[in-house]
């Protein structure tokens, strides 16, 4: 199965909108087909980065939780560390 060339989808530029597509057109010498392909490539590249950054974010969050648990000697470290009131409020809201 061959991938679809996004430049062959006639309503895609309308869906994207002219103001959003304008920088891509400028980068592609006002070639609409090339601009749509570049826009689609940008989405694919962003998607690839988003997946990796999501995994990294979870890893960092887990590492912080592990270290704070070790430091405070309890799983609910937020109950034993000195937090500012707004931080305590944010934690209580997240727990809800």
Confidence (pLDDT) at 2: 59
Residue 36: Cβ-neighbour burial (10 angstroms; 0-12, 13-18, 19+): buried
Greatest Cα pair distance, the chain, in angstroms, is: 61
| C-alpha to C-alpha distance for 28 and 60, rounded to whole angstroms | 39
Q: Model-level pTM?
A: 0.58
Count other Cβ atoms within 10 Å, centred on residue 82. Answer: 6
Share of the chain above pLDDT 90, in %: 48
User: Would you kindly state where each structural domain of the chain is located, as residue ranges?
Assistant: 7-95
What are 22-35's pLDDT values in tens digits?
999 999 999 988 99
């Amino acid at each position: 199965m061959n991938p679809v060339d996004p430049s062959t989808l006639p309503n895609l530029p309308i869906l994207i909108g002219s103001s959003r597509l304008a920088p891509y057109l400028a980068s592609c010498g006002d070639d609409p087909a090339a601009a749509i392909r570049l826009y689609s490539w940008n989405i694919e590249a962003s998607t690839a980065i988003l997946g990796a950054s999501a995994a990294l974010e979870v890893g960092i969050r887990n590492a912080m939780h592990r270290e704070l648990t070790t430091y405070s000697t309890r799983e609910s470290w937020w109950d034993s560390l000195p937090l500012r009131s707004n931080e305590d409020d944010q934690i209580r809201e997240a727990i809800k």
